Chain A
Amino acid sequence: MPETAAELFESLGRRGHEPLLEQAEGSLRFELENGQPQRWLVEVDKGDVVVSHANRKADATIRVDAKLFDRIVRGEVNAMAAVLRGAVTVEGDPQLLMLFQRIFPGPQGG
């Protein structure tokens, strides 16, 4: 189970295909803020995934505090609730994030 954003994205990129993202078509740009800004670009084509740091315009741009995103990656914080309270913001197509969040784990121990 990934512990950080980097682990999540790198593992996703290595897998190259994620069945839970087979409904998704488009690109997501994650901008993780806090200290050193990080950028991840995830391009999805019906489950086939390419992950990079490329600086390109995406179909959905997601901005979130890096520490909060790590907690989402570990299943401690629910992504959709975070969207509702504005802690995660989406510019562009929100459906892509809704599909993407399927790969996050649940809380430890249920």
Chain B
Amino acid sequence: MADLVSILDGNTFVVSDERGDIEASSTDPTGLFSFDTRFLSRWVLTIDGQRLNALSTDDLNYFEARFFLVPGTGTVYVDSKLSVIRKRNVAEGFHEELTILNHDDKPVELTVRIDAGNDFADLFEVKDALDKQGKYETRVEPERLVLSYVRETYQRGTAISSSKPAAIDKEGLTFDVRIGPGGSWTTELDVMTTLLASGQPRALPKVRSVGRNVKTTMQTDLARWLDAAPRLQCDSETLGLTYRRSLVDLAALRFSPLTAGRRSLPAAGLPWFMTMFGRDSIFTSLQALPFAPELAATTLRELGMRQGTRVDDFREEEPGRILHEMRYGEMTAFEERPHSPYYGCADATPLFVVLLDEYELWTGDRKLVREFEREARAAIAWIGDYADRQNNGYVSYKRKNEETGLENQCWKDSWDSISYSDGRLAGFPRATCELQGYAYDAQMRAARLARVVWKDTVYAEELEKRAADLKRRFNRDFWIESKGYFALALDADGEQVDSLTSNNGHLLWSGIVDKSKAKSVVQHLLGPRLFSGWGIRTLAEEEGRYNPIGYHVGTVWPFDNSFIAWGLRRYGYGREAAQVAAGVLDAAEYFQGRLPEAFGGYDRSLTKYPVQYPTACSPQAWSTGAPLLFLRTMLGLEPAGEHLVVDPALPVGIGHVELLDIPGRWGRIDAFGRGRVETGKRSGRQATLTR
């Protein structure tokens, strides 16, 4: 596929080719999308019947792009008397300023044509190529072209209009244009989407062109967002670039659910996952807490309000369960897909409680913690009740929706991610180890909140007792004595799934690991089978299913590594945390500061550069958040009462680092550090543990 250009705002986005044209087939992922529905699948510009040729394309901002074009295609040599500029920004659909310049000393007469059409595909249909059940209608009105789709009460529409008069037919707009010598011609095109905002089919708007104002608002908003974040001053150019990239990408990834008003939370990834995901929104909010704490507040609110209250096997909803994914498209509307919302995930519920506590530690916002006491208690109850699917005191998962539900309900959600050393796949239910860590941490943190905020010491003591019991059992049942690390999971028979995985690092983060076992765990994490030199692999070399470019069976995930670094610091391994941070941040340099979702698990000494894993979404929220969490772990930022403790452990190569105006319950505080930690040889093969 040729280079695609994406611009977006919230969950409205436009994906076109480098000319700005859209020619989507039913399974092709280009077009104008909003609320998980395609609103434009054809948008092709011609001049005198000729397609255009792209000279250059600028992504001005995440919400606007500019295309410089000339007529004629296919030739290397371009000598045109005309040039064409399309400037496009997202605005309740999109707004496009089309300008044609005549460089000749004679006037020109041109037929400018825009072909338009739409299939109103659901995002799920774009993936699966399914047939539509509703009716299409195309209406030519005096000043606009209206495309619509109706299935029973479900309606979606697209209205296309122009500031210059056009001859409108059912397949597009035609302009007869005359441009004087050295002159230019411009029209402004608006493509407006209509949907069931707040459940009410909005009338197709009569007034056109709000586009320009929306753009100005978005520019101001982005400037304000960057201004509110802590300032980073550092010797490392890569770190500076990566930090700025992360903040801008995080701004782009903000998403406001229909009911959230102006508040926003991090969506999972651009552009296909611009929706609320329990797990992704929580992890990203945790990473961003020291930088943009308001994301966590919205995440907690929106997820809390949608917490499960009943048993519904199709949606895998259960009382107390936090949602996995929400969608607004046609298939969800007709209950052909369960995403209204879908609850099939085993980790978002304990992580919700973890985020609630971490949010209070940083911000001191007890009001929100009081407001969501019921939800936090319901989440804790779910952990001990519905989530214990084998009645053995461990959280496990097995889908109830066999048709469209998710098989793997942990973050490593691909089909082959949970395997034994010999490569066999574990049966269901699966009690993966990191789920027990999250459950432990959630109970410990809820106990703190119960003492400090809810003033219920009886509940606090009960939670601490349960957590201590879980920790004791876990260190007995999951620990593989002969190998010196924790099993990936317990299978349906309670047997250990014995492969070596990065999940061990999440256990450190949760604090469920006995102190006496930590050193051995750390040796494995930084040892040659897991540490590639760029980061810690999801699955260790020599395991049956290890594949350096397997999605969850050998690649290195920046998000995974950032939480592992946090865990390493929690257990006092600052040098090793710095080593992991240094590896992943070195890799960021090869991606212009934008870390991909994952990169290959090849040894660093072998490839010399990180090999990107091909995924459809970039940026990905929790990869965007990873450098932020690395900054936190390298500087050793930990809230302690009304203070922020700074305890730097920075890798030698990074030089001087200052993070200024870190927001929190202390107001604003600066943190300083200098790279003093020798992180050892750069290759994972030669990495040694000196502790």
Contact = CB atoms under 8 A, between A and B. Distances in A.
Interface of A: 19-20, 22-23, 62, 75, 78, 80-81, 83-95, 97-99, 102-107, 110
Given A86-B196, A105-B310, A81 B305 contact: no
A89 B310 contact: no
Interface in B289-327: 304-306, 309-315, 317
Contact of B200 (A80, A91, A99): A91
Contacts of A23: 304-305, 371
A94 B153 contact: no
B258 to A, nearest CB: 6
A20 B378 CA distance: 11
A81 B314 CA distance: 12
Contacts of A93: 198, 259
Given A20-B309, A85-B154, 11 more contacts: A19-B374, A75-B310, A78-B335, A81-B335, A85-B151, A86-B196, A89-B199, A89-B200, A91-B198, A95-B260, A110-B313
A94 B259 contact: yes
B199 A83 contact: yes
B199 A97 contact: yes
A35 B427 CA distance: 53
Interface string B412-433: 0000000000000000000000
A20 B313 CA distance: 21
Nearest to A84: B333
A86 B155 contact: yes
B123 to A, nearest CB: 13
A102 B260 CA distance: 17
A73 B314 CA distance: 17
Contacts of A110: 311-313, 400
Contacts of A22: 374
13 contacts: A81-B334, A84-B154, A84-B196, A85-B334, A93-B259, A95-B305, A98-B259, A98-B306, A99-B305, A104-B310, A106-B310, A106-B312, A110-B312
A78 B315 CA distance: 10
B309 to A, nearest CB: 4
B343 to A, nearest CB: 11
A84 B156 CA distance: 11
Contacts of B341: 80
Nearest to B306: A98
A92 B260 CA distance: 13
Given A23-B305, A94-B258, A98-B305, A86 B310 contact: no
B527 to A, nearest CB: 45
Residue among B151, B200, B305 with the highest chain A CB neighbour number at 10 A? B200
Nearest to A79: B340
B309 A81 contact: no
**What are the 6 closest A-B residue pairs judged by CB atoms, nearest first?**
A106-B310, A85-B333, A84-B333, A90-B199, A86-B153, A106-B312
Contacts, number: 87
B152 interface: yes
B310 A87 contact: no
Nearest to A85: B333
B201 interface: yes
Contact of A106 (B258, B311, B335): B311
Interface string B280-295: 0000000000000000
Given A22-B374, A23-B371, A85 B152 contact: yes
Interface string B196-220: 1011110000000000000000000
Nearest to B198: A94
Interface string B321-356: 000000010101111000011000000000000000
Nearest to B151: A85
B305 to A, nearest CB: 6
A81 B333 contact: yes
A90 B374 contact: no
Nearest to A68: B153
Interface SS of chain B:
loop
Contacts of B313: 107, 110
Contacts of B154: 84-86
B302 to A, nearest CB: 10
A33 B333 CA distance: 21
Contacts of A103: 309
B152 A87 contact: yes
Nearest to B301: A23
B199 A94 contact: yes
Contacts of A84: 154, 196, 199, 328, 332-333, 340
A83 B196 CA distance: 8
Nearest to B314: A107
B398 to A, nearest CB: 14
Contacts of B259: 93-95, 98
Residue among A78, A97, A99 with the highest chain B CB neighbour number at 10 A? A78
A86 B201 contact: yes
B667 to A, nearest CB: 30
A84 B198 CA distance: 9
Nearest to B329: A84
A88 B153 CA distance: 9
Nearest to B259: A95
Nearest to B197: A94
B314 to A, nearest CB: 7
B310 A81 contact: no
A105 B308 CA distance: 11
A62 B314 CA distance: 25
Nearest to B341: A80
Contacts of B371: 23
A84 B151 CA distance: 12
Contact of B153 (A85, A90, A105): A85
Interface string B141-177: 0000000000111110000000000000000000000
Nearest to B155: A86
Contacts of A78: 312, 315, 335, 340
B378 to A, nearest CB: 10
B88 to A, nearest CB: 28
Interface string B236-265: 000000000000000000000011100000
B340 A80 contact: yes
Contacts of A106: 310-312, 317
Nearest to A90: B199
B329 to A, nearest CB: 8
Contacts of B305: 23, 95, 98-99
A91 B197 CA distance: 10
A86 B200 CA distance: 7
Nearest to A94: B198
B157 to A, nearest CB: 12
Nearest to B196: A86
B559 to A, nearest CB: 29
A105 B315 CA distance: 13
A103 B309 CA distance: 7
A100 B55 CA distance: 54
A80 B343 CA distance: 14
Nearest to B261: A95
Contacts of B196: 83-86, 89
Interface in B335-387: 335, 340-341, 371, 374
